[in-house]
């Protein structure tokens, strides 16, 4: 007789997707607050129509998958994160500008910047943010998410919610991509 294995937790991929969406949303939220603070009113932040900035979700995954090993050495985590996230920010800026002929950020007026794509100040911020994320934010979110939310939702529902959010994210990405293509490229 075959034994039926009941799924009792999310897969590793589903967990990573969940964290991707949480941190991409938080990135959008804080970018939006920053925009309100600096401009005095709501400013649409990010590439997508929806309320997420994927670069923050990808950054969180890089930290969780590859850089968590530096958790016990804040100095190593700071420098490795500063370098990796500055390189990521530069590459994303270059790729998006090439694809859409538009800039989503510009550090031209910032001290010690490289082609307006990255600056030493933001490199420093990425290093500090990595330390705060790995040592404080992620453990707090993981603990509270598991204790207060996840345990009360059946696994099948959790999995369906993550798949649904991914589907919406995919559609948003495609529609946003299409909307940002300059008319002369179509």
Q: Burial level of 55, CB count in 10 A (0-12/13-18/19+)?
A: buried
Q: Which residue has the higher pLDDT, 98 or 2?
A: 98
pTM above 0.85, yes or no: yes
Interval 124-181: pLDDT, tens: 999 999 999 999 999 999 999 988 888 889 999 999 999 999 999 999 999 999 998 8
Spatial contact of 88 and 62, defined as CB atoms under 8 Å apart: yes
H-only helix segments in the chain: 12-39, 54-62, 74-100, 120-132, 138-144, 155-180
CA atoms within 13 A on the CB side of 41: 0
Please count the other Cβ atoms lying within 10 Å of the Cβ belonging to residue 60.
25
Which two tokens mark 160?
Answer: 């369906």
Interval 30-45: pLDDT, tens: 999 999 999 999 988 8
């Amino acid at each position: 007789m075959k034994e039926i294995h009941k799924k009792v937790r999310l897969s590793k991929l589903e967990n990573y997707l969940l964290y991707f969406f949480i941190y991409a949303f938080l990135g959008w939220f804080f970018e939006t607050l920053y925009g309100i603070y600096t401009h005095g009113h709501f400013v649409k932040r990010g590439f997508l129509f929806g309320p997420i900035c994927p670069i923050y979700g990808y950054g969180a995954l890089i930290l969780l998958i590859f850089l968590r090993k530096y958790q016990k050495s804040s100095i190593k985590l700071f420098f490795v994160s500063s370098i990796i996230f500055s390189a990521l920010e530069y590459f994303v800026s270059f790729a998006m500008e090439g694809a859409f002929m538009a800039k989503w950020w510009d550090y031209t007026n910032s001290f010690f910047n490289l082609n307006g794509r990255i600056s030493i100040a933001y490199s420093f911020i990425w290093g500090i943010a990595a330390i705060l994320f790995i040592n404080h934010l992620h453990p707090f979110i993981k603990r509270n998410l598991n204790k207060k939310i996840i345990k009360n939702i059946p696994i099948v529902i959790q999995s369906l919610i993550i798949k649904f959010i991914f589907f919406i994210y995919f559609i948003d990405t495609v529609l946003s991509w299409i909307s940002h293509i300059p008319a002369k490229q179509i």
